[in-house]
Structure 1
Amino acid sequence: MLFLGTAMSIGVVAFWIALGIGIAALAGFTATNQLFQYPMFTIGVGVIIALMAVGMCGLFAVRLPNFVYAINPGHDSAAGSVGFGVMTAVLSTPCTAPFMGAAAAAAAVMTPTRTLLVFAAIGLGMALPYQILSMAPRLVDRMPRTGPASELIKQVMGLLMLAAAAFFVGTGISGLLTRPPAPPSLLHWWVVAAFGVAAGGWLAWRTLRITRRPGPRLVFGTVGVAILAISAFIGLRLTDRGPIDWTYYTPERFASAQSEGKVILMDFTAEWCLNCKALEKTVLYDDRVVTLVAEEAVLPIKVDLTGNNPDGNAMLKAVERLTIPLLVVFDAKGDEVFKGDFYTVEQVVTALNAAQSPPLAQRGP
Structure 2
Amino acid sequence: MGFSFCGGIVLFFAVFAAISAIAKLSTGTGLDMNSLYRNPAAVITLFLFILFFALVLLDVLVLTLPSSVANKQGGGSGFAGSVGMGFFAGILSTPCSGAIIGAVLVWAQTQPLTVSSAALVLMGVGMAAPYAMLISTPKLLDYVPKPGTWMEIFKKTGGFLLLIIAAKFMLAGLTKDHLINVLLYGVIFCFCVWMWGTWVIFSTPKAKKWTVRSVALIIAVAGGFWLLPTPKQSRVDWQKYDPAVVQNALQKEKPVLLKFTADWCSNCKIVDKTVYQDAATVALLAQKGFVAIKADTTQQGFGATVDYKAVFKEPGNVPNTILLNPDKQTITKIRGLFTPDELKQIITEHF
Normalising by the residue count of structure 2, what TM-score does the alignment of the two structures yield? 0.44
Q: Based on CA coordinates, which of the two structures has the bigger radius of gyration?
A: 2
TM-score (norm 1): 0.42
